[in-house]
Amino acid sequence: MVCFHTKHPAGRIFAAGIMVVVVLVGLVAAPTVGADKVVLENAFSNDRLGFSLRYPGGWECKPGKDKSSVWLSGKEGSAAFLIHLGVKSMATKIAGGEHADAEALLTQLSTNLKKQFPKARFSDLQKSDYIASGVKTRAHLLLAEYDRPPSKDQPRIPMRTMIFCVSPLDGRRIYMLTYTAPTEHRGAKVYDVNLPAVSAVVNSFKPTAIVNAAAKQPAKPKASAKKAVHVLVVGSDGKPLAGSGAVLLRGPGAFVEIGRDGEVIFDNIPYGKYEVMIMWKGYATSNTKLEIRPGGKSLIRMPAAAKEGKR
């Protein structure tokens, strides 16, 4: 178990040795709301860890003490100083690692988090198989909210973590990305404010296991016609859903995007027929179909499944 210590008020939850990690692998993703405006000036690449990514100029990228992860956050005094974006690469049990697969890893992490924060609130563990750059891949998504208890010098801080796991279906490696931040701290909505920059970094992430495997696949012609699509996820009352979640498109390409308050924006999506998976906190996973074509609607309303526990 990785233990990450930090002087950030929001980061002290890791002092007990619990690291909540969002796992993402090889998604050809489009920017979320505002992510396309984020300038990623710096680059990180490591052949031993098996991934590369880009991050904003005002951020720092530091290696983890376990030598299998890196941690990104804003410099002191910046809006991103209180966030933690962790990226970790690990072998599965069949390749000499500790965990059988990403689901086993997330189950253990959520169990540990519940022990430290008994009132933590979780979404159902959701998973989906899809094709990323021609490689069969499995994604897992888990959302968690909890309160960091007050201490002598710090008040109670509400926290939010998005845990997103993806790994190639050969079952040998798991890549993990974690986004953890205070929901609100001293009047600032830290998690929401930094979500566009985090999404831009996540979208730049390239895992070697998928990139190398994709290079062995027969080349496919790229679709030249593309379109921006604005998805509005609504409930039974027709109103946009509150909270956060993700929408996954699978068709001529694989695209995933994180959104909030029912709104998810995809840029440069090739025309074609797609399977759509909606994974939203507090709702059951739902699947539908979508065709993106010239002259079609740019704003698409999609109903979510029934609330968890009310099916």
Span 12-34, pLDDT tens digits? 222 222 222 333 333 333 334 45
Tens place of pLDDT for every residue, the chain, 311 residues?
Answer: 222 222 333 332 222 222 223 333 333 333 344 556 788 999 999 888 888 899 999 899 999 888 889 999 998 888 888 999 999 988 889 888 899 888 889 888 889 888 989 999 988 777 777 666 566 778 788 889 999 888 777 788 899 998 878 787 778 888 888 899 999 888 889 998 998 898 888 888 887 655 555 555 555 544 457 788 888 888 888 888 888 888 888 887 777 787 788 888 888 888 888 888 888 888 888 888 888 888 777 778 888 877 765 55
Instruction: Please give the helix or strand (H or E) that residue 111 lies within, else none.
Output: helix 102-116
**Same-domain status, 297 and 155:** no
Is residue 3 in a domain?
no
Is residue 170 in a domain?
yes
Across the strands, what pairs with 71? Answer: 62, 86
Domain count, the chain: 2
Q: Are 190 and 198 in contact (CB under 8 A)?
A: no
Burial of 257 by CB count in 10 Å (0-12 exposed, 13-18 middle, 19+ buried)? buried
**Same-domain status, 52 and 185:** yes
Query: CA dihedral in degrees (120, 165, 105, 110; nearest 10)?
Result: 0
Residue 270: the pLDDT is 87
Is residue 235 in a domain?
yes
Q: What are phi and psi of 94, to 5 degrees?
A: -70, -15
Domain limit, last residue, from 153, 180, 215: 215
**Same-domain status, 128 and 43:** yes
At position 239, the amino acid (one-letter code) is: K
Is residue 38 in a domain?
yes
Domain limit, last residue, from 160, 193, 215: 215
Q: Look up the CATH number of the domain holding residue 73.
A: 3.40.1000.10
Is residue 220 in a domain?
no
Question: Which domain, by its residues, includes 289?
Answer: 226-303
User: What pLDDT, in 10s, does the model give residues 250-300?
Assistant: 887 777 787 788 888 888 888 888 888 888 888 888 888 888 888 777 778
**Same-domain status, 160 and 20:** yes
Q: Look up the CATH number of the domain holding residue 242.
A: 2.60.40.1120
**Same-domain status, 134 and 234:** no
* Parallel/antiparallel/unpaired status of strands 59-63 and 51-55: unpaired
